[in-house]
Amino acid sequence: MIEAFRPIENYWYIACFSRELKSKPVSRTILGKPLVLFRTGEKPACLEDRCPHRNIALSLGKVKKDGLQCSYHGWTFGADGKCLRIPAESESGARPAARSLPAVENQGFIWVFLGDKVPGPVPEFPMFSAPRWQNWFMEREFDGSAFQCIENFLDVPHTVFVHSGLFRTREGSDTTLSIVRNNQSVTAEFLNERQVDGLVGKLLVPAGSQAKHTDAFLMPSTTRVDYYFSEKRHFIVMSQCTPVDEYRTRVYTYMAFRFDPIAPIVRLIYAPLSSMILNQDVRVIKKQSDNIKRFGREAFYFHQTDAIAREIREMMSGRKARSSHKKRIRA
pLDDT at 1: 44
pLDDT at 198: 63
Secondary structure of residue 313 in the 3-state scheme: helix
Domain that holds residue 72: 11-114
Instruction: Please check whether residue 40 lies inside any domain of the structure.
Output: yes
CA dist 281 and 237 (Å) reads: 14
User: Residue 308 in contact with residue 154, Cβ under 8 Å?
Assistant: yes
For all residues of the chain together, what is the average pLDDT? 90
Instruction: Please check whether residue 188 lies inside any domain of the structure.
Output: yes
Instruction: Please check whether residue 1 lies inside any domain of the structure.
Output: no
Secondary structure of residue 114 in the 3-state scheme: strand
pLDDT at 157: 85
pLDDT score of 2 more than 60: no
User: Residue 329 in contact with residue 307, Cβ under 8 Å?
Assistant: yes
CA dist 46 and 104 (Å) reads: 9
Q: Within this chain, do residues 62 and 176 fall inside the same structural domain, yes or no?
A: no
Q: Within this chain, do residues 195 and 245 fall inside the same structural domain, yes or no?
A: yes
Q: Within this chain, do residues 138 and 109 fall inside the same structural domain, yes or no?
A: no
pLDDT score of 328 more than 80: no
Q: Within this chain, do residues 319 and 193 fall inside the same structural domain, yes or no?
A: yes
Residues paired with residue 134 on neighbouring β-strands, in sequence order: 257
Query: For 174-207, how does the pLDDT look when each residue is reduced to its tens digit (9 = 90+)?
Result: 788 899 998 899 999 988 776 666 666 666 666 6
Q: Within this chain, do residues 31 and 142 fall inside the same structural domain, yes or no?
A: no
Secondary structure of residue 72 in the 3-state scheme: coil
Q: Within this chain, do residues 141 and 203 fall inside the same structural domain, yes or no?
A: yes
Instruction: Please check whether residue 128 lies inside any domain of the structure.
Output: no
Half-sphere exposure of 169 (CA within 13 A, CB side): 9
At a CB cut-off of 8 Å and minimum separation 6, what does 118 contact? none
pLDDT score of 305 more than 90: no
Q: Within this chain, do residues 166 and 293 fall inside the same structural domain, yes or no?
A: yes
Query: For 4-38, how does the pLDDT look when each residue is reduced to its tens digit (9 = 90+)?
Result: 557 899 999 999 999 999 999 999 999 999 999 99
Secondary structure of residue 141 in the 3-state scheme: strand
Confidence bin at 90 (pLDDT 50/70/90): confident
Instruction: Please check whether residue 254 lies inside any domain of the structure.
Output: yes
Q: What is the CATH number of the domain that holds 175?
A: 3.90.380.10
Q: What is the CATH number of the domain that holds 80?
A: 2.102.10.10
pLDDT at 278: 97
Burial (CB < 10 A; 0-12, 13-18, 19+), residue 105, is: middle
Residue 188 one-letter amino acid: A
Count: domains in the chain:
2
CA dist 254 and 136 (Å) reads: 6
Q: Within this chain, do residues 175 and 255 fall inside the same structural domain, yes or no?
A: yes
Average pLDDT value for residue range 300-313: 88
Query: For 232-271, how does the pLDDT look when each residue is reduced to its tens digit (9 = 90+)?
Result: 999 999 999 999 999 999 999 999 999 999 889 889 988 9
Instruction: Please check whether residue 4 lies inside any domain of the structure.
Output: no
pLDDT at 156: 87
pTM (two decimals): 0.92
pLDDT at 196: 63
Instruction: Please check whether residue 317 lies inside any domain of the structure.
Output: yes
- DSSP element (H, E) containing 13: strand 11-17
Average pLDDT value for residue range 306-319: 86
User: Residue 77 in contact with residue 59, Cβ under 8 Å?
Assistant: no
Neighbours of 86 (CB within 10 A): 16
pLDDT at 171: 60
> Domain boundary residue among 85, 114, 143?
114
Average pLDDT value for residue range 111-120: 94
pLDDT at 170: 57
Q: Within this chain, do residues 104 and 252 fall inside the same structural domain, yes or no?
A: no
Q: Within this chain, do residues 249 and 104 fall inside the same structural domain, yes or no?
A: no
